[in-house]
Amino acid sequence: MPDLTPWETLKRTLLLDRSPWMRIFEDDVRLPDGRVIEGYLRLETSGYVMIVPVRPDAHIGLVRSYKRGVDGVDIQPPAGILEQGEDPLEAAKRELKEELGCVATTWYELGEVVLSGNYFAGYAHFFLATGCREIAEPDSGDLEEQEVVWLPLEEARRSWSEGGFRQVGAVAALGLAFQKIDKVGLE
Amino acid sequence: MPDLTPWETLKRTLLLDRSPWMRIFEDDVRLPDGRVIEGYLRLETSGYVMIVPVRPDAHIGLVRSYKRGVDGVDIQPPAGILEQGEDPLEAAKRELKEELGCVATTWYELGEVVLSGNYFAGYAHFFLATGCREIAEPDSGDLEEQEVVWLPLEEARRSWSEGGFRQVGAVAALGLAFQKIDKVGLE
C-alpha cells in the first residue's frame, strides 16, 4: 500500500508579498519516505467566486472581456475576487449584481476547489443562480471593460463541449452548472 | 460598446525564476482607457496534461495521493507536468502508462485552458482515453506516492457532481469527459 501520509512542513519562507492579490512562499518539506525537498512553492490568493446565472427563459449570463491570462478576449461566467473575510455566497450575490445587474431567486452551491493541486493558489467557489432577472445596469468596477452576453442554454453547453471557454475555472463551473440544471430545472 | 482592446505591455520584469517549475514576472501595462497599471503579476509554468481513462467495462481510472495544494489526500484523474517542448498527446500517453500502467484504444482531445484568467499560469490539456487496458504495473516517479482506483463511471459522475473532487482541473476535465462519453460511448 502506498503511504499517503501528509508531507511535513519544516520551514515556510515568504518570498513575495503582493497582498491583497498574492503571496508567494517556499516551503521545506519532509516526504513520508524521509526525503527533504527544499523550496517547494506555495501561492496564496484570496480566491474567487464564479456564478453561472440562468434566466427563466433558459439563457445563461456571461461576460466578454479582455483577459490578460488568456492573452485575448474571452467569454466566461461572471466572477470576482473574494474580499478579505467575505462570505462566498454574499460575494457571489454582489458580483452578480455588479457584473450583470441581476438578482436570482435560488442559489445552489456547486462546490469549492483549489486552483492548484501542487501550489494551492486559493479556492474557487462555484454557484448556480436560477430565476435571474435584470434589475439594474451592470457596473463591474473591474480593470477590464466587459460586455454582457445572454446565450441560449444549449448554445452555451455546445460551446463549452467544443472548447469555446478558455479558462479552467469557467470550464469547471459550467460543467457542474449544466449537470445541476439537468437535475433541478430552471424554475 | 465596451472597448475590449488588449492591454499594452510596457515592461516585463522577471521577479522569481524557479525553472522548470515556475517563473514569476511583473508587467507594467496600459489599459485601453490610458491608465497605467504597474506590477501586474504573470505566472508561467510549462502546464500539465490530465487524462480521463475509461475501460470498456465502464470504470474510470483515478489516482489517490497526498496533494500539497489540497492539504490532504485527494482523488483525481492521472496528470503530469508537460516537459519542455513535449507534444501534449504524447505526454498524455506517457502519463497514462506511468501512472496507471495503461494503454488506450482511442484518444479524444477535450480542450486546452489557461490556469488563471488573470495571471496565465500555463495551460492544462485535457484528454479522454477510451478502451483502456492495463499492461504494466504503475510507476509514476512522482514525489507523491499514489494509489490507483478504478471507479464505476456512474459513481465517479455522482462524486463529481457532489463536490468529491477538490482540484479545479479535475472538475473541469471530468465534466468534459462525461459529456464526451455520453456522445461517443465507451467502445
Residues of A with Cβ-Cβ distance to B43 under 8 angstroms: 43
* Residue from B30, B44, B113, B142 to probe the interface with A (highest A Cβ count within 10 Å): B113
**Per-residue model confidence as pLDDT tens digits over B44-69:** 999 999 999 999 999 999 999 999 99
Whether B142 is covered by a domain: the verdict is yes
Whether B3 is covered by a domain: the verdict is no
* Mean pLDDT score of chain B: 95
Per-residue cell: B40: 501586474
Query: For chain B, what percent of residues have pLDDT higher than 70?
Result: 99
Identify the domain containing residue B74 by its residue range: 48-184
Size of interface A-B (CB pairs under 8 A): 197
Whether A28 is covered by a domain: the verdict is yes
Whether A150 is covered by a domain: the verdict is yes
Same domain (yes/no): A60, A96? yes
Same domain (yes/no): B24, B111? no
Vertex A75: Cα angle to A72 and A77 (nearest 5): 140
Same domain (yes/no): B66, B141? yes
Same domain (yes/no): B14, B62? no
**Per-residue model confidence as pLDDT tens digits over B128-187:** 999 999 999 888 777 778 999 999 999 999 999 999 999 999 999 999 999 999 999 887
pTM for the model stands at 0.96
Residues of A with Cβ-Cβ distance to B123 under 8 angstroms: none
pLDDT-derived band at B2 (thresholds 50, 70, 90) equals confident
Residues of A with Cβ-Cβ distance to B24 under 8 angstroms: 16, 24
Same domain (yes/no): B95, B144? yes
Question: Domain total for chain A?
Answer: 2
Residues whose CB is less than 8 angstroms from the CB of residue B90 and which lie 6 or more positions away in sequence, other chains included: none
* Residue from A114, A128, A147, A149 to probe the interface with B (highest B Cβ count within 10 Å): A114
Whether B1 is covered by a domain: the verdict is no
pLDDT of the residue at A40:
96
Same domain (yes/no): A148, A96? yes
Residues whose CB is less than 8 angstroms from the CB of residue A112 and which lie 6 or more positions away in sequence, other chains included: A88, A123, A124, A125, A126, B163, B166
Order of strands across the sheet that contains B146-152: B72-76, B59-67, B146-152
Q: What is the ipTM of this complex?
A: 0.96
User: Rounded distance, CA B63 to CA B61, Å?
Assistant: 7
Q: One digit per residue, pLDDT tens: chain A, 187 residues?
A: 678 899 999 999 999 999 999 999 999 999 999 999 999 999 999 999 999 999 999 999 999 999 999 999 999 999 999 988 899 999 999 999 999 999 999 999 999 999 999 999 999 999 999 999 999 988 877 777 899 999 999 999 999 999 999 999 999 999 999 999 999 988 7
Same domain (yes/no): A37, A103? no
- Do the chains contact at A41 and B31, CB–CB below 8 Å? no
Same domain (yes/no): B31, B53? no
pLDDT of the residue at A75:
97
pLDDT of the residue at A148:
95
Same domain (yes/no): A23, A70? no
User: Rounded distance, CA A5 to CA A33, Å?
Assistant: 10
Same domain (yes/no): A37, A52? no
**Residue B15 pLDDT > 80, yes or no?**
yes
pLDDT of the residue at B84:
83
Task: State the nearest Cα–Cα gap between A170 and chain B, in angstroms.
Answer: 8
CATH number, position A136: 3.90.79.10
pLDDT of the residue at A63:
96
Give the Cβ contact number of residue B80 at 10 Å. Answer: 20
DSSP labels, chain B: ----PPPEEEEEEEEEEETTTEEEEEEEEE-TTS-EEEEEEEEE---EEEEEEB-TTSEEEEEEEEETTTTEEEEE--EEEPPTT--HHHHHHHHHHHHH-EE-SEEEEEEEEEEETTTEEEEEEEEEEES-EE-S------SS-EEEEEEEHHHHHHHHHTT---BHHHHHHHHHHHHHHHHH---
Same domain (yes/no): A90, A16? no
Whether B2 is covered by a domain: the verdict is no
Whether A1 is covered by a domain: the verdict is no
Same domain (yes/no): B98, B178? yes
Whether A88 is covered by a domain: the verdict is yes
